[in-house]
Amino acid sequence: MLRYFISREFLFTILGLFTVGIVVYIAIFFWILPAYTRHGDGLLVPDVSEMTVAEAENELKKKGLRPMRADSLFVEHLPPGVIIKQYPAPFTRVKPKRTIALTINKSEPPMVEMPNLVEPSISLYQAKAKLEVWKLGVGKVTRVPDIAENVVLRAHYDGGEIQAGTKIPQGSKIDLVVGTMKNVSQVLIPDLAGYTYEDALSILRSIGLGLGSVLYNANGPEEAIGRIYSQNPKAEFGDSIRVGSAIDIYVYGSEPEENEGILVEEVED
């Protein structure tokens, strides 16, 4: 047996099998498969975007391809009935008789619900972003005196105020009424009771008022320490105050020392 494996006959057998394997490999991958798959026999997909359906279908058929109406969307700036998308993409190489899926621009825009732009209060920038999510746009922006600086107060469409949830065509422009502190001479007195000093300062600044005297009462309840319990002038319903005025506040707790919260190091000469 060993003599056979080292004989010339065995060597020729191995060489013969190797040669046959190479021939089979070449035949399969260079002759049979290319012939079966028509390798190299491809067509370039033409660009039919913004053509009418009839024009696109005719162009694809002339190239030996099969058009198929797959979907429809609405794009505002394009004419109705034109091609807005195709798959495979333009200039892709495909095999003859390949199906090309076409997306057509709708003749009528779909209806969408008007989003709520008033409650809770949102800024002009936030309203614009919210409208874009619903595929709507901002029309005319009118600014009116109001303490709500840059906040949307009302939304108008087609000449009248529009309520959230109303169905309108996609792409519609919404006119907005936005508040501005400009020319505002009076603002409502805010009720600061229960707020901290820092919160009150922020509220007052946001509506154009200042902070007057800060008076402390060390005899207040423990759970209310650091909280405002009274103010001057009072926040009576409907009362207003001139922009730039100051409001005094009364806070439960001990008056902080001048350097409270600051590390002071005494250095001797």
pLDDT in tens, 234-264: 988 878 888 888 999 999 998 887 654 444 4
Q: Sort strands 160-161 and 152-157 into parallel, antiparallel or unpaired.
A: antiparallel
* Closest alpha carbon to 70 in 119, 116, 103: 103
* Closest alpha carbon to 164 in 101, 113, 199: 113
- Cβ atoms of 104 and 69 within 8 Å: the answer is yes
Q: Which two tokens stand for residue 41?
A: 């026999």
Instruction: Give the model's confidence band at 159: pLDDT under 50 very low, under 70 low, under 90 confident, else very high.
Output: confident
Instruction: Give the model's confidence band at 269: pLDDT under 50 very low, under 70 low, under 90 confident, else very high.
Output: very low
* E strand or H helix that includes residue 223: none
Digit-coded pLDDT (tens) for 114-156: 999 988 888 999 999 999 999 899 999 998 877 777 889 999 9
pLDDT of 109 > 70? The answer is yes
Q: Report the pLDDT value the prediction gives residue 49, as an integer from 0 to 100.
A: 92
How much of the chain exceeds pLDDT 90, in percent?
A: 51
Beta strands in the chain (DSSP E): 43-44, 66-73, 83-87, 93-94, 99-105, 111-113, 137-145, 152-157, 160-161, 167-169, 173-180, 186-188, 210-217, 228-232, 240-242, 246-252
CB neighbour burial string for 207-243, b if at least 16 within 10 angstroms, e if fewer: bbbebeeeeeeeebeeeeeebbeebeeeeeeeeebeb
- Cβ atoms of 72 and 123 within 8 Å: the answer is no
Beta bridge partners of 186: 242
Predicted structure pTM score: 0.49
Q: Report the pLDDT value the prediction gives residue 252, as an integer from 0 to 100.
A: 95
Q: Which two tokens stand for residue 184?
A: 């505002």
Eight-state DSSP code of residue 253: S
* Closest alpha carbon to 100 in 82, 91, 87: 87
